[in-house]
């Protein structure tokens, strides 16, 4: 799999967290809102799909992909939107959102209300792997999205999603294991986990949890013709996670640069498409 185009776009989203890109103020901007268990991320693209501004915040307002703190979620989306509008000097009017595969209509609506409450019209509700695939462009294989709360997977055949699953094991569990191991609090464990210089040491501690995630994937893909696993989601930023997956599943496993930003970017790329799941 050639991640060149995806990696280039992801690098530009990374840059847009700190630098605001140039754009024509009269053009319609595309917004993606990723409401996650661990992070809320907003990505803004111009009409040519160039990333121009992004904002994110750590927030524990969802559990297993569902909004559990409606007021908290709404406040953070409003704040992030306001920060973006301040940077861009224009009002953001439309946004796409995504939910984990299998989310009920009622729960999808809650996501929608959180975003609409901030003053943006929701133009598309996608499932998360479909959003990620807008960036990756995979025809065949399985996209595994490991976020804060869940491991989601989608099997693709000829570019179409033919199977999805979502299981409640994610990055939060890794942090809990690190916290227990070092007898530190959760926040400190989160920091250590994301420290590049400590990822080798961390992998030794969290390897059993990653093996469990890989086992979940292996069991779900059994019976399907899967030659490749593609890792996305914040937890897949961990160094060498792809090697643990490959060993455990026996399936070639790769990931793009900064897997954390793939889904938020893919959501924004779908802002123009109306799709109700």
Question: In the complex with ligand ATP, which residue's Cβ is closer, 170 or 256?
Answer: 170
Name residues contacting ligand ATP, limited to 185-224 (CB under 6 A).
190, 193-194
**Which residues 6+ apart lie within 8 Å of 209 measured at CB?**
169, 173, 174, 177
Q: Report the chain's C-alpha Rg in angstroms.
A: 18
The yes or no reply on residue 63 touching ligand ATP (CB under 6 A) is: no
Distance, CA of 50 to CA of 38 (rounded, Å): 26
Question: In the complex with ligand ATP, which residue's Cβ is closer, 128 or 248?
Answer: 128
Query: What is the maximum span of the chain, computed from C-alpha positions, in angstroms?
Result: 53
Distance, CA of 167 to CA of 174 (rounded, Å): 15
The yes or no reply on residue 164 touching ligand ATP (CB under 6 A) is: no
Question: In the complex with ligand ATP, which residue's Cβ is closer, 58 or 224?
Answer: 58
Question: In the complex with ligand ATP, which residue's Cβ is closer, 141 or 234?
Answer: 234
Distance, CA of 79 to CA of 227 (rounded, Å): 42
267 contacts 32 by C-beta, under 8 angstroms: yes
Question: In the complex with ligand ATP, which residue's Cβ is closer, 84 or 144?
Answer: 144
CA 24 to chain centre: 28
User: Which of 51, 101, 129, 170 forms a contact with ligand ATP (CB under 6 A)?
Assistant: 170
Name residues contacting ligand ATP, limited to 29-48 (CB under 6 A).
34, 36-39
Three-state DSSP state, 177: helix
Question: In the complex with ligand ATP, which residue's Cβ is closer, 83 or 140?
Answer: 83
Using the contact rule CB under 6 A, the part of the chain among 2-10, 87-95, 210-218, 234-242 near ligand ATP is 234-242
**Which residues 6+ apart lie within 8 Å of 99 measured at CB?**
65, 107, 108, 111, 125, 126, 127, 128, 277
Q: How far is the CB of 87 from ligand ATP (least distance, A)?
A: 21
User: Which of 172, 249, 253, 270 forms a contact with ligand ATP (CB under 6 A)?
Assistant: 172
Phi, psi values for residue 5, rounded to 5°: -65, -45
The yes or no reply on residue 154 touching ligand ATP (CB under 6 A) is: no
List interacting residues with ligand ATP (CB under 6 A). 34, 36-39, 62, 65, 147-150, 170-172, 190, 193-194, 233-235, 237-238, 260
């Amino acid at each position: 799999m050639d991640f060149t185009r995806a990696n280039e776009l992801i690098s530009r989203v990374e840059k847009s967290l700190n630098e605001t890109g140039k754009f024509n103020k009269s053009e319609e901007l595309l917004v993606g809102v990723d409401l996650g268990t661990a992070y809320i991320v907003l990505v803004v693209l111009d009409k040519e799909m160039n990333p121009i501004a992004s904002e994110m915040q750590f927030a524990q307002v969802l559990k297993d992909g569902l909004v559990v703190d409606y007021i908290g979620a709404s406040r953070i989306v409003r704040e992030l939107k306001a920060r973006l509008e301040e940077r861009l000097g224009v009002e953001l009017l439309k946004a796409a959102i995504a939910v984990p595969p299998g989310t009920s209509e009622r729960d999808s609506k809650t996501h929608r209300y959180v975003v609409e409450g901030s003053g943006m019209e929701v133009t598309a509700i996608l499932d998360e792997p479909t959003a990620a695939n807008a960036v990756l462009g995979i025809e065949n294989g399985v996209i595994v999205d490991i976020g804060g709360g869940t491991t989601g997977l989608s099997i693709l055949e000829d570019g179409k999603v033919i199977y999805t699953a979502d299981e409640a094991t994610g990055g939060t569990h890794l942090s809990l294991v690190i916290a227990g191991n070092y007898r530190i609090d959760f926040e400190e464990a989160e920091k250590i986990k994301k420290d590049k210089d400590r990822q080798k040491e961390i992998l030794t501690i969290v390897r059993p949890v990653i093996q469990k995630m890989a086992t979940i994937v292996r069991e779900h893909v059994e019976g399907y013709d899967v030659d490749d696993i593609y890792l996305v989601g914040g937890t897949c930023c961990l160094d060498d996670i792809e090697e643990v997956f490959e060993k455990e599943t026996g399936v070639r496993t790769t990931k793009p640069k900064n897997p954390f930003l793939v889904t938020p970017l893919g959501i924004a790329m779908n802002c123009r498409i109306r799709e109700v799941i």
